[in-house]
Structure 1
Amino acid sequence: MIGSAPMGGTELPGTLEVLQTASSRSIIRAVGPEAPLTQERLAAEAASVATLPDEVPSLPREWFVDEVLPGAGRWVVLGYRNEPIRPPHDPWDEADLAAAVELAIQIGTSEAPVGLPDALDQIDVGAWATIAATWPPGLSAFTPWLSDKIDQLAAIASYAGEAMSGPSLVHGALRRESILITDHGWDATSAHAVDWFMPSHGAPFLDVVLLLPYLRVDGAPPPEVVLDRHPLPDVDPEALTCAVTVTAGALVLESMRPPEPGVPHGRAVQREAAHAALHWLRTRLGG
């Protein structure tokens, strides 16, 4: 090995690195025993990436190692094909934001590989019903608008099977940290996705709905403004409202749960995204 340099570009612990050897240059991510959940997710990504259709804008996998090293514990390492990529600009500029949204739209144009789970099994579509039944104490940290809306939101979410099902590929975890940008000159950019640890099949617009609250947290315009600039093709407005309702409920409920091992700040980010999703939901419901 000649040297390496971090380049960001992953939601999970285990920063992407550009690894330079005497004979080649690779992009890798390595996760040690301090983050066992992340190790499992990286192993899941290694398996998922190998099955993605060729047209899906992802970093192709080149090699994968999952070994227990003497005295060092388990290490999981995924090597990607070297590509001219970078993290999105921070704050977002219009070109990178457009590339990110178009990435989410493009993923949904691909048919999911056989054997992937249903997105409805990956997203907590019953979150509002759970909240209505338990009324968790942390709910008071969110907008008072919710106080008399929980049952209505649970009713809307009950149509998730009709609104959010489909054969399209769903990434399921698109964030700034899982998006990498390629510059093509003249301000033209395109995007690639990493963090393929929970792909599924569902409606073609799901990744856009799941992504936009996180983009808002990062300083992007409100979701409705983004969708005006980057319209979703052939989407039933009621189906979109149902998906936003489900996403907001899942974020609210997940953000009140204990932190996941190895991801100490994940719940705080989810709470911010939950606030953004609730504001979007209020907009769609005219509240």
Structure 2
Amino acid sequence: IINSENIKNIVREEMNYEFERKAALQKVEDEKRQVLYDEQAKRHVQQMVFIGLSALLLFGIAFLIYSRLQLKKRLTLQRDLAEYEQKALHLQMNPHFVFNCLGSISSFIVQNGTDQAIKYLSKFSKLMRLTLEYSKESLIPIDKEIESLQNYLELEQLRFNNMFEFEITKDPNIEDDMALPPLLLQPFVENSIIHGIVPKKMRGRITVGFKLEGEKLICTVTDDGIGINRSKKLKEASVTVHKSMAMEITRKRLEVIQAVTSRHSQVEIKEITNATGEPAGTRIILHLPVQYANN
């Protein structure tokens, strides 16, 4: 009986042990499955977040590229518009310049006779050749602008019987390919002669200078004429008062330069006074951004 009871207890304990062992194994398996499920869920969430961020990044890149392309297109159109406006203003300048030169030739023929008129026409034809050559360009090297001004001033010297002398200077730091719009200074030089030196009725002097100041090209036209204020009064008193188209066009050209380069351009007109405070001339100062002919 005792052995039978012992056998029953042993069997019962073995069954309990086996049951507990299976329960423990099942619990371990359940825990493994739960961990695996949690890992899969976490990985799925990470994948969704990654996909969302990737899509957002791709959309941002696409939008940025589109915006840059649109900006580039707009800037290109603005640049082309400014260039066409520059050429249009230059075409307006050329007829005005030719008209003034032809008027000078007419006056010179009447005043000085055939021989001097032939010399004048020769210089005029050279100047016109240079002008037509430069009219194809929106920018020309400074040396070419100096050559054009040299010819123009020599023509006016002949016309007014050497009533003035002139000098053109250039800063040695100015590079050969630095450039500016053609005929930009000619209207200012013309005003210095017509409205500064000629009314003075005495021999005068005109100085044209080009120099660098940082990122600025400074162009000056200086005369020792009657001064800007007196010149304005004479214009107001004159019966043949007319608005200077060349000066207005030049101001517009400076606005175009500023629009194209996104850098400041301006013109200053100052009256020069002597030690006693009396007018002793006029100085025109153009502040231009440094540009190059190959641009």
- TM-score strictly above 0.5: no
Higher relative contact order (CA 8 A, sep 6+): 1
Larger Rg: 2
Q: Which TM-score bucket, shorter chain as reference?
A: under 0.3
